[in-house]
């Protein structure tokens, strides 16, 4: 048995205080979660499976294992996809315990170096890229028609773009497509620009709860300043943090009078009411459920309703879909510390997509799009990934240019 040093004793106690021994013991070690765990399916070693990670937590709580940077890595390599919790027959909430472990590891200073860099960028620049936050509207600088939300400081609706869509050129097409769609539908919205900070989810899942709380408070204040009653987001992580984590960080009343929608929820209604009339897109597609939107926020049907509203489009499901969907690998901030692992996870999801015979993967997340697209490029696969808002805009543009709108 490894003796626990006095200086880490407090951390062990903290871990034991935040993760109850009874909750860990709920795991009956059946191993059913392993098949659903994307990191286990790539690495095939027990310490990268949910069951193995929980065994590590238990060993630390019981004083049988010393906390170390190597221990921390096992937790920061988890994509927090929640597939384990969804599959577990004994009701073990492995993903919640693994997230709690990250919070304790952060407090203990056991954060992997790349994640520390990400937290520094969030603290100093208020976004994940490290760019000047004032440049958050660069995505619309070259658009033929500037989004109407650009010049509007007050509106019923705020379009909260998120860091990836705002600052990563590969994803600019997503806010471009969505803002044009809102304009076409006559939805009045405001963009927050530099007043939009990172939603706080990357800080929260890295363990820095106080930084996440600061970001949550800032963003809600910016939304209130705009006089909005509704926030619409294109990013599933923004959606999940607004709807599930902000109330935890700031209290339930923090969101009083404010409705939060993912873009697909708004689009499904606009398409079904006839406010948007897309042209036919005769193509066979498969839909990849983003973990933060689907399994973790239970938004499964709106993106499918959007796809079904596009004439001529055929939707085929992958072998693992909905609540059982396989993560693309892009979650949990793992990209910062283990890019090769992420790439392998994405490869597995691409194989499932290829098996459907689809010509296109559609998702509802800029991070899933980035992860799957770059893995497909590395494998020289002719299988593109697009965001559902891009596909909708493509169909609307055809109607628009055909003069039938």
Q: Does 31 bind ligand SF4 (CB under 6 A)?
A: yes
Q: Does 16 bind ligand SF4 (CB under 6 A)?
A: no
Q: Does 32 bind ligand SF4 (CB under 6 A)?
A: yes
Which residue, among 237, 245, 189, 259, has the nearest Cα to 217 in the 3D structure?
245
Which of 11, 19, 61, 87 is the binder for ligand SF4 (CB under 6 A)? 87
Gap between the Cα atoms of 263 and 388, Å rounded: 9
Q: Does 21 bind ligand SF4 (CB under 6 A)?
A: no
* The two structure tokens encoding residue 300: 């499964």
Q: Does 345 bind ligand SF4 (CB under 6 A)?
A: no
Asked if 203 contacts 215 with a C-beta cutoff of 8 angstroms, the reply is yes
Asked if 177 contacts 387 with a C-beta cutoff of 8 angstroms, the reply is yes
Q: Does 230 bind ligand SF4 (CB under 6 A)?
A: no
Pairing of β 189-191 and β 230-233: unpaired
Q: How many Cα neighbours within 13 Å face the side chain of 131?
A: 16
Of the pair 94, 137, the CB lying nearest ligand SF4 is at: 94
Of the pair 92, 171, the CB lying nearest ligand SF4 is at: 92
Interface region with ligand SF4, contact rule CB under 6 A, candidates 28-36, 160-168, 248-256, 306-314: 28-36
Cβ-proximal residues to 335 (8 Å cutoff; 6+ apart), any chain: 342, 371
Asked if 175 contacts 303 with a C-beta cutoff of 8 angstroms, the reply is no
Interface region with ligand SF4, contact rule CB under 6 A, candidates 76-84, 103-111, 271-279, 294-302: 76-84
Of the pair 33, 226, the CB lying nearest ligand SF4 is at: 33
| Contact pattern for ligand SF4 over residues 98 through 137, marking x by CB under 6 A | x---------------------------------------
* The two structure tokens encoding residue 290: 């983003």
CB atoms within 10 A of CB 44: 10
Q: Does 79 bind ligand SF4 (CB under 6 A)?
A: yes
Which of 12, 42, 78, 223 is the binder for ligand SF4 (CB under 6 A)? 78
Which of 2, 9, 20, 90 is the binder for ligand SF4 (CB under 6 A)? 90
> How far apart are CB 296 and ligand SF4 at their closest, in Å?
10
**What are the contacts of 111-116 at 24+ separation with CB within 8 A?**
111/72, 111/76, 111/206, 111/207, 112/69, 112/72, 112/73, 112/76, 112/336, 112/337, 113/337, 114/336, 114/337, 115/76, 115/206, 115/333, 115/336, 115/337
Interface region with ligand SF4, contact rule CB under 6 A, candidates 46-54, 110-118, 144-152, 304-312: 46-54
Q: Does 240 bind ligand SF4 (CB under 6 A)?
A: no
> How far apart are CB 237 and ligand SF4 at their closest, in Å?
14
Size of the site for ligand SF4 (CB under 6 A): 28
Q: Does 198 bind ligand SF4 (CB under 6 A)?
A: no
Residue spans of beta strands (DSSP E) within 123-163: 157-160
Of the pair 92, 371, the CB lying nearest ligand SF4 is at: 92
Asked if 117 contacts 336 with a C-beta cutoff of 8 angstroms, the reply is yes
Which of 80, 161, 192, 358 is the binder for ligand SF4 (CB under 6 A)? 80
Cβ-proximal residues to 401 (8 Å cutoff; 6+ apart), any chain: none
Ordered DSSP codes for 81-120? --HHHHH-TT---HHHHHHHHHHHHHHTT---HHHHHHHH
> How far apart are CB 361 and ligand SF4 at their closest, in Å?
20
Q: Does 38 bind ligand SF4 (CB under 6 A)?
A: yes
Which residue, among 275, 280, 349, 266, has the nearest Cα to 308 in the 3D structure?
280
> How far apart are CB 327 and ligand SF4 at their closest, in Å?
6
Q: Does 51 bind ligand SF4 (CB under 6 A)?
A: yes
Which residue, among 69, 61, 74, has the nearest Cα to 111 in the 3D structure?
69
Helix axes 301-308, 263-272, angle to 10 degrees: 40
Which of 29, 64, 224, 284 is the binder for ligand SF4 (CB under 6 A)? 29
Of the pair 61, 310, the CB lying nearest ligand SF4 is at: 61
Q: How far is CA 10 from the centre of its chain?
A: 32
Q: Does 323 bind ligand SF4 (CB under 6 A)?
A: no
The contact set with ligand SF4 (CB under 6 A) reads 27-33, 36-39, 50-51, 53, 78-84, 87-88, 90, 92, 94-95, 98
């Amino acid at each position: 048995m490894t003796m626990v040093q006095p200086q880490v004793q407090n951390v062990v106690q903290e871990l034991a205080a935040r993760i109850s021994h009874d909750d860990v013991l709920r795991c009956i070690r059946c191993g059913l979660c392993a098949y659903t765990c994307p990191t286990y399916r790539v690495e095939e070693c027990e310490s990268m499976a949910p069951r193995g990670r929980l065994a590590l937590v238990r060993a630390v709580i019981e004083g049988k294992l010393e906390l170390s940077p190597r221990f921390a890595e096992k937790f920061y390599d988890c994509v927090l996809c929640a597939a384990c919790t969804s599959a577990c027959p004994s009701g073990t909430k492995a993903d919640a315990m693994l997230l709690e472990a990250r919070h304790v590891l952060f407090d203990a200073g056991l954060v992997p170096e790349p994640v520390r860099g990400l937290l520094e960028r969030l603290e100093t620049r208020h976004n994940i890229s490290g760019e000047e936050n004032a440049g958050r509207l660069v995505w619309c600088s070259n658009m033929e028609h500037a989004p109407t939300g650009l010049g509007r400081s007050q509106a019923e609706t705020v379009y909260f773009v998120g860091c990836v869509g705002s600052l990563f050129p590969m994803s600019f097409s997503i806010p471009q497509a969505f803002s044009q769609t809102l304009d076409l539908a006559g939805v009045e919205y405001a963009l927050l620009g530099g007043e939009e900070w990172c939603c706080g989810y990357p800080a929260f899942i890295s363990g820095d709860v106080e930084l996440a709380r600061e970001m949550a408070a800032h963003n809600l204040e910016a939304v209130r300043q705009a006089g909005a009653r509704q926030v619409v987001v294109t990013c599933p992580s923004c959606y999940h943090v607004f709807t599930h984590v902000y109330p935890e960080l700031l209290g339930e009343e923090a969101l009083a009078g404010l409705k939060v929608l993912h873009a697909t929820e708004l689009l499904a209604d606009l398409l079904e009411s006839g406010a948007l009339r897309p042209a036919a897109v005769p193509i066979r597609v498969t839909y990849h459920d983003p973990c933060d939107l689907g399994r973790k926020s239970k938004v499964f049907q709106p993106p499918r309703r959007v796809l079904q509203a596009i004439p001529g489009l055929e939707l085929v499901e992958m072998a693992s879909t909905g609540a059982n969907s396989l993560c693309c690998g892009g979650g949990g901030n793992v990209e910062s510390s283990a890019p090769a692992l992420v790439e392998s996870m994405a490869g597995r999801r691409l194989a499932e997509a290829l098996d459907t015979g689809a010509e296109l993967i559609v998702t509802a997340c800029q991070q899933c799009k980035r992860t799957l697209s770059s893995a497909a490029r590395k494998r020289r696969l002719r299988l593109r990934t697009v965001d559902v808002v891009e596909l909708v805009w493509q169909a609307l543009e055809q109607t628009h240019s055909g003069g039938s709108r």
